Structure 1
Amino acid sequence: MSASGTAAAGQVEQMLRQVTPGRYDAYEALLRALATPSAGRLWMLLWQGRSGDPDARYGSMEVDGYFYVPCVTSAQELSASGWTRGYEVTDALEAARALYPDHHGLWLNPHAPGGGLGIPWLDLRRVTAGLDRQPAGPLRLSEPAIEVPQFYALLVQNAHRTPAVRALRRAWVQPALGAPYLAVGLDVYETSPAAVESVRAMMSQSVGVVPDGLAVSTVAMADDHDPVALWMRANARPFYDRDAHGPAGSGRGGYGYPAVH
């Protein structure tokens, strides 16, 4: 490894040493290092086979009901771990893309004092999608307590005029870092470019009545890997449901919110 590569690997280890319980800022810095191609190199521990073998398999560990793939952060840590089986050096982004769809996270340096650190699959998804595009966990999710009936009523009206929309849900999201916001869950019939554009236009036409200072974000209910969508599926009753509203154009409101004329 070149001097610059060694320094990059050292960045991950430096960030890792700063992570302690409650230090979400340090944890986010570690995720940013892992998301940087020059820095996020990992030595993945193979339980079976050698690097490049078609039958090679990563190791696996379960902690508190969640699954992780163990890895180390440098050749020096590999030596310190005493691992005698195969290993594979890979980019953290590549590993994250491969692991999170199967709901596997990464466990960094499990041999280290204290047992190392686990990166759950939800955070690997954030690493691949862009840390600024996904809220920082752990998330606190609840029914929205803030009253914005004008926004909901206008959104219901516009949804009724947007054939791609099947249903709408909502949640109040409080990230570990950053301001809380209102999430609107979009359940759609199709995801063709025309349908996506019609839904985008629906939201654009509706958010103008949102009070200043209230952030609103949208979530695709079909996303099986989004924690907000998963929470809304399990806990949030739709405030608009086309199937419960009868024929399009009936003018009915949604769950207590009258239609806007």
Structure 2
Amino acid sequence: MYKNLQNHAINIRKNIVEMITESKSGHPGGSLSAVEILTYLYFEEMNINEANIDNKERDYFVLSKGHAAPVLYATLSEKGFIPQEDLMTLRKLGSKLQGHPDSKKIKVVDIATGSLGQGISNAVGLAIGSKIDNDNSRVYTLLGDGELQEGLVWEAAMSAAHYKLDNLVAFVDYNKLQIDGNNDDVMGIKPLDKKFESFGWNVLIIDGHDFKEIECALNQAKEIKGKPTVIIANTVKGKGVSFMENNAGWHGTAPSIEQRDMAINELEEMRKGCL
């Protein structure tokens, strides 16, 4: 299973690099850091496929860090929801694949996101609705660590605990960097675990690039009753492309053709190591 997931992850990373290069704009760093999380969710964890897309009891995903849309588009394409050729229309006039995901343009995008903090708020609403309807849906959301500087996030966190939303799992893509540099320098967010605990959440801390740790955390989350779970995933911004890794300059910079080719070569070498 893990080898298949690694192969999917490499394909997704390649498409992220290709589509952002083609569009000449986009956010590679925070897209590449979240690949394993979305890969596991869509290929192992979530009850979602083409057959049940209209069934309200399927699972839901909200990309709260909406600027990382390339990782969502690339994952949906790898899953078969978006044609491969559509990826190269990223951010182009008339494309369904805009810089932030739009639920009116892409059916499988559950919530349109962009303004930071609003995604998790919508995820809380979805989870409350599922509780009211007494269905089996689970709701997953992915936040950026810089996003946690938004007050709206903590209002949503307070609500999720108040309503005992044990059907809600939030991932924090904790790569420690944002557009202006290190989180600690821009606006400190530590200690994340104690903050979420004080808001009434079950807290798990993992390596966000390790499929086994992601799997174990999600299994533990299902056992928790009466409170939401946050999985703080330690990640590397730009993961998989050496010259992008841990470099805040790649938050929102598109690769050149030469840089794209270097990145693709690195990813193919990574694939050889996974065989």
TM-score range, shorter chain: under 0.3
Q: TM-score, normalised by structure 2?
A: 0.24
Q: TM-score, normalised by structure 1?
A: 0.25
Q: Which has the higher contact order (CA 8 A, sep 6+)?
A: 2
